Amino acid sequence: MSLVLDPAAQDLLFREARTANTFTDEPVTDEQMQAIYDLVKYGPTAFNQSPLRITLVRSPEARERLVQHMAEGNRPKTAAAPLVAILSADNEFHDELPQLFPHFPQAKDAFFSERPAREGAALLNSALQAAYFIVGVRAAGLAAGPMTGLDFEGVRKEFLDDDHTPLMVVNIGRPGPDAWFPRSPRLTYEQVVTTV
């Protein structure tokens, strides 16, 4: 085998994992979410940045407010998922760099003193962290339903502030009946990989 990860874990994280569209009503606990975060926080980013912010939407009132900003086809599954997370990028992440990148604390000012540079870095690195988050949800034996069909500005105004850029909404839980659409094709190695 070319991979050292157990085949069952490979299936759990990738081959058999799917974007869930329905969920059971089994709750997703704070302890599960803590375990997911404590795993995925180790995923690599540039300068060890940690711009991802996770807003867990638990109360019925907050869920109702969120559902209004989802695309029509995403509203029923967002309303019914046991837990919903709003993933966003903190554009002021650089304030934490002296703590997170202590061997070069000057990185905060050397590379990220200007807002456009911060926004670009926050977008790229929080997207990496969002991918780790989805894999972490799978590692917990749960299914993730990430969605970008939403009113981003509406979600930002409703739940965030001007320093945070929403990336996606992720429904989280145990898959319910008919949770999966047929798996879509993937590109082959030959279509993607070039050697120079």
What are the pLDDT tens digits along the chain (196 aa)?
Answer: 799 999 999 999 999 999 999 999 999 999 999 999 999 999 999 999 999 999 999 999 999 999 999 999 999 999 999 999 999 999 999 999 999 999 998 999 999 999 999 999 999 999 999 999 999 999 999 999 999 999 999 999 999 999 999 999 999 999 999 998 888 999 999 999 999 9
User: Which residue ranges form the domains of the chain, and what is each CATH number?
Assistant: 22-176 (3.40.109.10)
Separation between Cα atoms, residue 137 and residue 120, nearest integer Å: 26
Rg over alpha carbons for the chain, rounded to the nearest Å, is 18
Strand ranges in the chain using DSSP code E only, listed in sequence order: 52-57, 83-90, 143-147, 164-173
Q: Which backbone phi and psi does 128 adopt, to 5 degrees? A: -60, -50
pTM over 0.85: yes
Q: Is 152 left (phi over 0), alpha (psi -120 to 50) or beta?
A: alpha
